[in-house]
Structure 1
């Protein structure tokens, strides 16, 4: 993996240097000044904004690429033959000791849920969505394949699952009864002045029993040995967020889809990052007549 990291960093650095050098040479060869480029103070501000955005895109693009390469370098293990360290498994979600949560908007039995409540505030061009509540909850659960099952602690994982519920309420459109009950229990209301409905958005994700999941994390010591040994075929192992390798990922997508999505994000992020960084640096250098 270290060799992959070194090779990737080297390739990306080379691409960046070539792109930057090509644009600089073009401007120098054509003797373009800041006036000829039509630059003013506002353009300089935009250039710095794009520079920051480009650095962020490049960073996250490289991060996603590293995660993609890590997934590709780790083979999927059968649970019965798990070894300590970074592992990759695929199986069904099984509640631990029948511990289940109820998702807030759909009342689904689940081992993990996440929800958000947003409200549209302001008017016209100044209107925006404001998150007024965002929370998640989870229980430990087992993942089971044809060879056995292992305990999973999802705390700290990047949990990539689809929405189980989305709803927009507004004028003459009340939220469903389950949502109204939840709002009431949380001391919130979907109504504003004179009982007029607010414009709100409700979203929920839930990881339900028997759902197939792909997991990459660290197989380490199981602190709940008694709990685990009460389940058939479970070793003293728990998949969790690692101390050294922080990448911990849970998804309802199969590995091929996970890799495809990560690859697309990585390459788009890196390409746009390089484009924004090079373009903004050219503008900044030209503005101060450094070129």
Structure 2
């Protein structure tokens, strides 16, 4: 009876790991295909000039300038036009270690993207920022130093960061967009909410580029199109072929369990 139980437990662990590999590989493969689809769209869509862009999905590259106001990023204190942040706490140990998110927020103000032909309003809320590297990531463990800004933010939003023996294992992440930098944007050109729904291209003051319901592509990066495609090609290829390999290994292990 005793040896039987041990064999059963080992078998269960093996099949569980095999299923994990199989499903994880499929997810990795799917994400790689999605990245390839995005890269193909970026490569095939010509970069528009602000003056000549049409309504609908557009690709733009220009210089960020404040429109009416800016804001201050809570963690870094940087002047910005958009900020996305999260506060999490690492809990558990070993395989059970996981990140519990206490708070996730994004906030932005309209800003101008300017090229040599004109300027257009951008609303960055809801964008894919995976290739935007103007960010900070801070992890605190035990006796790590808590900055005044982080402490003020936690106290304001009732987030516990102290424990009986020191600081909790906290993680703070912040991504922001600063005025004065160059930016790549692929999003939907649409009437600005304050435009009276006008579709006239009068200096593009009445047009905004941003997220649109039903349009899955809204991508912002601080890299040029060439840099985006160069960096992404290796990653998406690795995800597709790596996903196939993991799924195949997981499937093989599942079949072995039932022999």
TM-score where L is the length of structure 2: 0.83
Q: 262, 265, 270: which is aligned to 2:240? A: 270
State the partner residue of 2:102. 132
SS at 1:225's partner residue?
coil
User: Which deviates more, 239-248 or 119-128?
Assistant: 119-128
SS at 1:51's partner residue?
helix
For residues 122 and 273 of structure 1, the distance between their equivalents in structure 2, rounded to whole angstroms, comes to 28
- 1:67 equivalenced with 2:38 (yes/no): yes
Return 5+ residue gaps in structure 1 as ranges. 1-38
User: Which deviates more, 257-266 or 163-172?
Assistant: 163-172
- 1:114 equivalenced with 2:90 (yes/no): no
For residues 284 and 219 of structure 1, the distance between their equivalents in structure 2, rounded to whole angstroms, comes to 49
State the partner residue of 2:17. 46
- 1:153 equivalenced with 2:111 (yes/no): no
State the partner residue of 1:141. 111
For residues 54 and 78 of structure 1, the distance between their equivalents in structure 2, rounded to whole angstroms, comes to 40
SS at 1:158's partner residue?
coil
Would the aligned equivalents of 2:18 and 2:250 in 1 still touch at CA under 8 Å? yes
State the partner residue of 2:216. 246
Would the aligned equivalents of 1:168 and 1:175 in 2 still touch at CA under 8 Å? no
CA spacing shift, 1:193–1:288, aligned 2, 3 Å: closer
Greater helix share, structure number: 1
- 1:206 equivalenced with 2:176 (yes/no): yes
| Matched ranges for 1:1-291 at <5 A | 40-97=11-68, 99-122=69-92, 127-159=97-129, 160-193=131-164, 196-225=166-195, 233-288=203-258
Would the aligned equivalents of 1:167 and 1:175 in 2 still touch at CA under 8 Å? no
For residues 67 and 267 of structure 1, the distance between their equivalents in structure 2, rounded to whole angstroms, comes to 13
- What's the RMSD between the two structures over aligned residues? 2.7
SS at 2:167's partner residue?
coil
State the partner residue of 2:6. none
Return 5+ residue gaps in structure 2 as ranges. 1-9
Would the aligned equivalents of 1:163 and 1:203 in 2 still touch at CA under 8 Å? no
For residues 42 and 184 of structure 1, the distance between their equivalents in structure 2, rounded to whole angstroms, comes to 43
TM-score where L is the length of structure 1: 0.75
Q: What is the CA distance between 1:49 and its match in structure 2?
A: 1.5
SS at 1:218's partner residue?
strand
Number of residue pairs the alignment of both structures matches = 247
Greater strand share, structure number: 2
SS at 2:162's partner residue?
coil
Q: What is the CA distance between 1:65 and its match in structure 2?
A: 0.3
Q: What is the CA distance between 1:150 and its match in structure 2?
A: 0.8
Would the aligned equivalents of 1:93 and 1:208 in 2 still touch at CA under 8 Å? yes
Would the aligned equivalents of 2:107 and 2:125 in 1 still touch at CA under 8 Å? no
SS at 2:37's partner residue?
helix
